[in-house]
Chain A
Amino acid sequence: MLRFEGVHTHIGAYHILHGVEMTVPEGAITLLLGRNGVGKTTTLRTLMGLWQASRGRIVFEGKDITHYPTPDIARLGIAYVPENMGIFADLSVAENLLLAARAAPSLGALPRERVDWIFELFPAMKTFWQHPAGKLSGGQKQMLAVSRAIIEPRRLLVVDEPSKGLAPAIIDNMIQAFAALKAQGVTVLLVEQNLNFARQLGDHVVVMDNGQVVHQGAMGAFMADESLQQSLLGLAL
């Protein structure tokens, strides 16, 4: 579904990505792993056109989207949940979702089935529907960020560290939500540092180091190989 072909990214004078090569298969959850600062977030931002690739190609469903503007990439059906969640704090939960639902001109036109499904995945969204998003807790903000990404059917969800800074109970809630998405066949590219999260959800794994992909393959095989985990991540899953 998604392919990175030798992608390089520079941010100012810094050369961050050094020829990233990776594939994200359709209908699976792909975990992008690696130590801090190896280029995972830069990879996602380059995919979304928020930082421009200086070399290489990004191909999504056969289209070269390397130099597409960010809105055009989103309109191909790619939803992005950034590390900082990107919540509009001054808008209500409902208004945040309305902006994500591009086809809905008003709150009354939000797709009812999707909203009900979101309420099922994250009951807090129903409780705080009219609440200003800035007043939500960290976990609720993350739920809103994910809800925003799925309020309309998307081809690919790109999520940057959804469990960062969350309490264990909320992480469990988030794992269940992603498991439900996985059951529906949604394709997800997920950056995650929480190993429990990664182990429970991943179908496919891509490991990065120093701006390059150093391993990719099935999650099961990766989990079974402790020495590989030790050599790539410095710890065992």
Chain B
Amino acid sequence: MSMLQRWRAAAPGQDALPWLLAPLLALLAWPLVGSTDTWITLTVAGLAMGMIIFLMASGLTLVFGLMDVLNFGHGLFIALGAYMATSVWGWLGAATEVADWGLNLLAVGLAMAAGMTLAALVGWAFERLIVRPVYGQHLKQILITMGGMIMGEELIKAFWGPLQMALPLPEALRGAFWWGDAALEKYRLVAVAVGLAVWALQVSVLTRTKVGLLIRAGVQDREMVEALGYRIRALFVGVFVAGSALAGLGGVMWGLYQQNVVPQIGAQVNVLIFIVLIMGGLGSTGGAVIGALLVGLMANYTGFLAPKLALFSNIALMAAVLLWRPQGLYPVVNR
């Protein structure tokens, strides 16, 4: 069974129409962009950006779905992942500067592992100290998680400094493969591959393991999961920590995509993440994939066609999706 089929099986009653949106957007953009080569380059860039945004957003959508928690501090974990990558780059020194695929991929892998570990640890503390006291209180959740992110940003400035830091791509990942006259940037292909691998892993966990079934059941009806004898708070902590780690991974990927890091990197990308979650349907991982791909593609096409409209175009896209489906593409949680 393919990944999409497994998702379809896991989401009865949900039609496949939303899956056509990203290809449709790409097809609509083709004549507008004009050159096919440029269109291919932009499409690959959009898919890469989309998959990185998905990495950052997928944990957050489950956190909301499972416990109705609005975490506006999610950007902190992204920033921590990105900054951890700069530290790993500092420790590795020359390993990122020689054009050796093995060494360079090892460096990226180490940065990912370190970024995920730090984000997971901070995520665990964040849940315990900041989120837990405000379960069920949305306004307080928004205020305190935003406050937590601001505090985190200040701590990042104290530890790594307030200035922009460079996070150059490892030598072997720079440049592009050429397909005709279309440039396919190497790092973007790696980002798409990592994003697809993580998505496949998530689908596998959510559909083939009992913990995954519990998460999906908890998103639908957490009270019933408790009545079956499962402690949903423990499950939630696990999902929160895993979601934070994924945000850390996304932060490493996003930092390398931008090739520099600032303390506000997480806050900057938070807007896109919330657009993705609202568009995809709160609590839906499948919806988050589609939303992230739409945002990535739209940002790249409008960045080329009308750069000043880049953010507006994504908000307009979200508005269009909500006019079509007011609860998002695949709503799981109706609260």
Contact = CB atoms under 8 A, between A and B. Distances in A.
Q: Do A and B bind each other?
A: yes
B28 to A, nearest CB: 31
Given A132-B12, A134-B13, A135-B12, A74 B227 contact: yes
A91 B213 contact: yes
Contact of B227 (A82, A98, A132): A82
A80 B13 contact: no
Nearest to B207: A95
A175 interface: no
B173 to A, nearest CB: 39
Interface string B221-257: 1011111111110000000000000000000000000
Nearest to A102: B229
B217 A91 contact: yes
Interface string A135-152: 100000000000010000
Contact of B228 (A50, A92, A99, A105): A99
Q: Which of B216, B228, B332 has the most CB of A within 10 A?
A: B228
A75 B228 CA distance: 8
B220 to A, nearest CB: 5
A99 B210 contact: yes
Contacts of A134: 12-13
A210 interface: no
A90 interface: yes
Nearest to A135: B12
B281 to A, nearest CB: 12
B116 to A, nearest CB: 26
Q: Chain B's interface: helix, strand, loop or mixed, by majority?
A: helix
A82 B11 CA distance: 23
B269 interface: no
Contacts of A86: 221, 223-224, 227
A98 B210 contact: yes
Given A98-B210, A132-B12, A91 B216 contact: yes
30 contacts: A50-B226, A50-B227, A69-B226, A70-B223, A70-B226, A71-B230, A74-B226, A74-B228, A74-B229, A86-B221, A86-B224, A86-B227, A88-B217, A88-B224, A89-B220, A90-B10, A90-B12, A90-B220, A91-B10, A91-B217, A92-B9, A98-B210, A98-B213, A99-B225, A100-B228, A102-B230, A132-B9, A132-B12, A135-B12, A148-B228
Interface of B: 9-13, 210, 213-214, 216-217, 220-221, 223-232, 332
Interface of A: 48, 50, 69-71, 74-75, 80, 82, 86, 88-92, 95, 98-100, 102, 105-106, 132, 134-135, 148
Given A90-B10, A132-B12, 19 more contacts: A50-B223, A50-B226, A70-B223, A70-B227, A71-B229, A71-B230, A82-B224, A86-B227, A88-B217, A88-B220, A90-B12, A90-B216, A91-B10, A95-B213, A98-B210, A99-B225, A100-B228, A102-B228, A134-B13
